[in-house]
Amino acid sequence: MTQDEIKSMVARAAIAHVPPGSVIGVGTGSTVNHFIDALFTERERIAGAVSSSEASSARLRNCGVRVLDATEVERLPLYVDGADEIDPLGHMIKGGGAALTREKIVADLADRFLCIADTSKVVDVLGRFPLPVEVIGMAAPRIARRFEKIGGRAVLRAGVVTDNGHPLLDVHGLEIIDPVALEAEVNQWPGVVTVGIFARHRATLCLLGSSDGIRTLQY
């Protein structure tokens, strides 16, 4: 199977975890795009969706799914999203699609986080994938220097701003032994909007796809 076929397989399997008649949270990225496409034939199953990006919102609407703003809901039973990396405890690095802040906002509304990914995303220790950090532009050089002090090399993601209008730093070379502590620390640095460590908002369930099928992990 190709990687795209594996992503499609996992995305279709995620539909079974969607509570009928509910409003759910929907993330951003290539695997999530397959999930949204799968909703096209199952759109009567849900009452609507809260999306983490303008791109996902547009795709949902094109599939006939009602899109609600995050301000219109108090809680969601489920949030479905992918990951750039996921460790054995369900901690993730996210933000490769530049939607990390809105992803955390929607994830915070949800009772459960369902991660859909292929097995290449599984790591023992986070950090092989560059860590995305959404920042206020004027603080970017200072934040880069702070990462340098802890062994990271922060590079501005050229030509990219988030849906919130902010630039992104991608931090290379980190070995994130304690995701909870590093997330808490970096989020306190002035000028950081969101760091792409999802430790507090870790996955509660993960569907991992490979050419051998789908493996279900619970955390």
Active-site residue list: 103
Between CA 196 and CA 134 the distance in angstroms is 8
Alpha helices in 26-109 (DSSP H): 30-39, 54-62, 100-109
Q: Output DSSP code: residue 199.
A: S
Among candidates 121, 107, 114, 104, which has minimal Cα distance to 162? 104
CB 34 within 8 A of CB 13: no
Q: Output DSSP code: residue 97.
A: T
Between CA 142 and CA 212 the distance in angstroms is 46
Structure tokens at 56: 């996902």
Nearest-Å Rg of the Cα atoms of the chain is 17
CB 160 within 8 A of CB 53: no
Structure tokens at 74: 């108090």
Between CA 106 and CA 76 the distance in angstroms is 8
